């Protein structure tokens, strides 16, 4: 990555910036999709923006999250790299609750979400290349630093995104398993796509808090040990997202067949 890094970001749920000693300042960004509140911390290298995708007071359920506003706010703040966390249920029996999985592919079963910045009209058309949905350089650095930090991360996994807010039925989970899904969550899509549309480097770690529907009699959310696991993951993410020498990747070049907007930009600009 040779481009200038202005700021980096971590996207997560509640407690996204809960680290002892970390001081953050609240900021509201007025985006074309509405105001988005974030927390910003000044660290030794790049300022880090923390975004709770559900809103600072967890006001948006998964199907009503302002995904476009969230990503637009990060872009407007000059963010070029994002690491995200997802709470998930485990489908793959080799990934019990408590596992951390570096996602490398997605199945999208959401509906009714505003899933693109390219809605025609002034914003033009573009088709996003998704052969490598997550930034390989960020993924590789995460895995390398996790080994040093002795934090076990599964190096790959397919994330199926459901619309929620209900959990899945056992038959749905059997279907997703047949399609190759390892974990299931409700928030990864369209977040990853929107990041790619903006040329932001994006990688995500899923943390499993339950077996998916049908694996046990009833879904049981595991709470023991999860807050400490998330703190360790957050420390690792903070180090990774600020790495100085990431290898080259093609995230900044994911748009294909762009129809220039009326302003002639040829690329969506905020």
Contact residues for ligand HPA, defined by CB under 6 A: 87-89, 162, 167-168, 184-186, 209-210, 212
Q: Tokens for 38, please give them.
A: 């974030």
Looking at beta carbons only, is 84 or 87 nearer to ligand HPA? 87
Q: Name the minimum Å distance from CB 210 to ligand HPA.
A: 5
Q: Name the minimum Å distance from CB 263 to ligand HPA.
A: 39
Calculate the alpha carbon distances from 31 to 57, 188, 189, 194 in Å.
19, 21, 20, 14
Q: Name the minimum Å distance from CB 61 to ligand HPA.
A: 12
Looking at beta carbons only, is 8 or 177 nearer to ligand HPA? 177
Q: Name the minimum Å distance from CB 127 to ligand HPA.
A: 28
Q: Name the minimum Å distance from CB 145 to ligand HPA.
A: 25
Q: In angstroms, what is the C-alpha Rg of the chain?
A: 18
Looking at beta carbons only, is 104 or 168 nearer to ligand HPA? 168
Looking at beta carbons only, is 53 or 81 nearer to ligand HPA? 53
Chain residue at closest Cβ approach to ligand HPA: 89
Tell me the backbone φ, ψ of residue 215, rounded to 5 degrees: -80, -35
Q: Name the minimum Å distance from CB 179 to ligand HPA.
A: 15
Looking at beta carbons only, is 93 or 269 nearer to ligand HPA? 93
Looking at beta carbons only, is 47 or 214 nearer to ligand HPA? 214
Contact 133, 251 (CB under 8 A): no
Q: Name the minimum Å distance from CB 104 to ligand HPA.
A: 19
Interior angle at CA 187, CA 185 and CA 188, nearest 5: 85
Looking at beta carbons only, is 105 or 239 nearer to ligand HPA? 105
């Amino acid at each position: 990555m040779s481009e200038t890094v202005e700021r980096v970001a971590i996207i997560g749920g509640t407690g996204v910036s809960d680290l002892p000693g970390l001081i953050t300042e609240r900021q509201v960004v007025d985006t074309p999709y509405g105001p988005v509140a974030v927390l910003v911390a000044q660290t030794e290298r790049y300022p880090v923006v923390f975004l709770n995708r559900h809103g600072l007071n967890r006001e948006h359920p998964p199907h009503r999250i302002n995904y476009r506003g969230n990503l637009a706010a990060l872009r407007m703040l000059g963010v070029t790299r994002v690491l995200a966390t997802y709470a998930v249920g485990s489908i793959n029996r080799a990934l019990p609750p408590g596992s951390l999985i570096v996602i490398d592919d997605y199945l999208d079963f959401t509906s009714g979400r505003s899933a693109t910045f390219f809605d025609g009209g002034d914003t033009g058309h573009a088709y996003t290349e998704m052969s490598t949905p997550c930034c390989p350089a960020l993924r590789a650095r995460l895995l390398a630093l996790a080994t040093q930090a002795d934090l076990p991360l599964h190096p790959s996994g397919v994330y199926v995104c459901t619309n929620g807010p209900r959990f899945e039925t056992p038959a749905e989970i059997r279907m997703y398993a047949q399609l190759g899904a390892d974990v299931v969550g409700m928030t990864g899509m369209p977040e990853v796509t929107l990041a790619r549309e903006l040329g932001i480097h994006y990688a995500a770690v899923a943390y499993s808090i339950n077996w998916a529907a049908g694996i046990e009699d009833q879904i049981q959310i595991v709470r023991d040990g999860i807050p400490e696991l998330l703190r360790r993951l957050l420390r690792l993410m903070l180090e990774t997202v600020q790495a100085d020498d990431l290898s080259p990747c093609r995230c900044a070049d994911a748009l294909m067949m762009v129809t220039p907007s009326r302003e002639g930009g040829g690329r969506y600009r905020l």
